[in-house]
Amino acid sequence: MNSIFLLAGKTLCMRRLKHTDLQYSYYEVMSLLSEVDRTILRSREIFDNLENEYVYFVVEDLHTHMIISTCTVIITNARTKLSQIACIEHIIIRKDYQNIGLGDIMFQRLKYYCLNTKRCLRLQINCNSEL
């Protein structure tokens, strides 16, 4: 799910977290993640093994190549594909990109990913309402 859009005069791309993001933008990405997510991503083996259950998304400002937002989607029962439940957690946006509607756009695209792409039966949200 690579999604490029214009918002407040900025060209942004919402996509899945790549290993190169951790290699080249480690501190940027880690500063936006929750403590639980930082712990999971510190080990590359854990990241590889949890790919089907924990999906990390980032938003990149294509002009500055800076990661400006992160989000975690947890898919439960991912192996069975019969009764998957998605949980959107920790939409975190850099302060200088807040209050421009980015959180709403991210939420709508994550909701589409969970319900249509992953075909989850239910969606739970565990995010701060001040997006």
pLDDT digits (tens, 9 = 90+) for 70-96: 998 988 876 676 778 899 988 999 999
Q: With 70 as the cut, is the pLDDT of residue 47 above it? A: no
* Percent of the chain residues past pLDDT 90, beyond the cut: 44
Average pLDDT over residues 14-42: 80
Beta strands in 52-117, from DSSP E residues, in sequence order: 54-61, 66-76, 85-93
Task: Return the CATH architecture of domain 3-126.
Answer: 3-Layer(aba) Sandwich (3.40)
Please state, in angstroms and rounded to a whole number, the distance separating the CA atoms of residues 124 and 126: 7
Our measurement of the distance from residue 81's CA atom to the centroid of its chain's CA atoms, rounded to an integer in Å, reads 21
Q: What is the mean pLDDT of the chain?
A: 83
> Taking 60 as the threshold, does the pLDDT of residue 51 lie above it?
no
Q: Given pLDDT bands bounded at 50, 70 and 90, which one contains residue 59?
A: very high
Domain ranges (residues) in the chain: 3-126
Q: How far is CA 120 from CA 1, 3, 20, 39, 47, in A?
A: 16, 20, 28, 26, 22
Exposed / middle / buried, residue 129 (Cβ in 10 Å: 0-12, 13-18, 19+): exposed
